[in-house]
Structure 1
Amino acid sequence: MPAYTATESWSAQIAVQEGDIIQNGGSSLVRVCAADPASDDDAIDLTSKKAVKISAAGNVRIRCVSGNARVKIVRGL
């Protein structure tokens, strides 16, 4: 399962597949955005220890609101 460090800047694009689950493994708020360019207004907030399931293949970018966070992607079936 791929893991990424989210910083306060938007990450490079991360390819995701339908059914993948993005998990916030830390205690900091993480934003996940599928828009290009990424924007806080288009992002969803992923709070501590929460996850979101991807409904369509594409690319996302992540960022941590404050400090750093660890994000994992669990590949769907």
Structure 2
Amino acid sequence: MLNTEEKKKKMSRTVWDAYDQEVDGSGVLRPSGGSFVLLDIGSLSRSCGLQCTTDGMHYEGIVYEAALQVMLNALLIESQQQI
């Protein structure tokens, strides 16, 4: 969903995979002992495809609303576990 040739060239599958490996290997995500949970907007919007975006880069409000709901649920679960 990259809307310019420059973005398509710079954000290749190789670069994307390298980024994911760095994040996974950094230890900042909760499954690897870190404090953060990855919010994967791509997964949230994958099933609706181009209908979820007006320009290929920015999502429709419903996607952001779903992401917000996921974040709030994660915070609620975290706060309940600390009690």
Higher relative contact order (CA 8 A, sep 6+): 1
The TM-score bracket by the shorter chain reads: under 0.3
Give the structure with the higher percent strand.
1
Give the structure with the higher percent helix.
2
Q: TM-score, normalised on structure 1?
A: 0.20
